[in-house]
Structure 1
Amino acid sequence: MLKERLKQLVGQESVLSFAQKCEIGESSMRKYLDGRVPGLDKAAQIAKACNVSLQWLATGEGAMRPEEQVAQKSDEYIGIPRYDASLSAGNGFWNIDTAHELDHIPFTAEFLRRRLGRSNPDDLIILTANGDSMEPLIGDGDLVMVDQKKNELTDGVFAFVLNGMARVKRLNQTLAGDLEVMSENPLYRTEVFRKDDLINFQLIGKVVWCGHHFAR
């Protein structure tokens, strides 16, 4: 269980010291140690602070340490790079040019083939979505995998930059060439950008996978 792996990481260290290292409140950490499952963002935070694989922490599978995962050079798992850049489901800025690679999230080669139709991970990246406009499809803090090779505008959920702002939304291009930017959350209205206003529009890629929080 995840709480047992957390206890393994705590070891002889005090819960307070461990929580501070992970930049998580002590009360929240104690709840995780008692069995409450942390959200995906918090689990990733703990994994980073302890230099362990997020997959190992979440499921107990794979190598415990990221360097061990790399050393295995297994054909069974393929690591998709995760960056410290965020896509906004509300407001935000695309900062991939200044982002650095945090780690790799492992996926099986079979998953890439069968679910994504990919034989290799080229141009696949994982980013974090912020905001609630794409709820319940994509939640605040969820990880999204973006296929940068799918950079032709078709119906679907895409990561894109418009007027210097990076966003993740459902897109639809009208027959007149205008762009409809739609949210999943009914509290947000559909935005329509005229063809002449799309000079500063850049498609990053299509969202092909989303990793939801373990708990809300």
Structure 2
Amino acid sequence: MSIIQIKKQTSKLVAEESSLDPGLYQPDIFIITDSKGNYLKPVIPGRLRSSLHIFSEKGATIHSNIINKAIPSIQAATSPIVLLWFGTCEISKKDGRYSDIIKYPYQSIEQTLTEYRAARDHILQTNPSATVIAIECPYFSIYRWNQSRGFKYNTQSTQLYKDIDLKLKSAINYYNQPLFYFNRNILAPHIAQDQIISSKQRKRPRNAK
């Protein structure tokens, strides 16, 4: 999905929101994530502000205590929707100002997927009426991140980090595939797929049909 399409859909949703019945039932939605949540909070539509609860921490992973912090609120809700959104901090690491892929990403992914299942079971034991959804890990570029932080590339380091990005993409694909089965029978967003479609649209010539 391109940025233009996102803006159009956002404008459409805002317009539709103003015409909705204020008394219409809205289930409580919990998003449990890392620092991505900090970027979501400022853009929550007005109608959702009382029912959308974001638990986020910089550098948080599925292994963090952040889920336990959300449990009391989830337990008190009626038929809540719980979105688990991790992955980036499980397969990458910070080294000062810059980032890199961790040494054994696939081992970390397997452990993370195990923790996802344990977290889902824990949430459902706490509140059997909950719906638990695991959101895909979005694609991201360590090369671009480090560049934005002032990393000075030369020919050798450029190739090195381009190769790291390819390894990162493969790890993200490996991570996201089991989430399809985790979310079976649930309508879940496909963020990574949207990124692929958006990328293809940006590369398409303007006169292409």
TM-score range, shorter chain: under 0.3
Larger % of strand: which? 1
- Which TM-score applies when normalising by structure 2? 0.24
- Which TM-score applies when normalising by structure 1? 0.24
Larger % of helix: which? 2
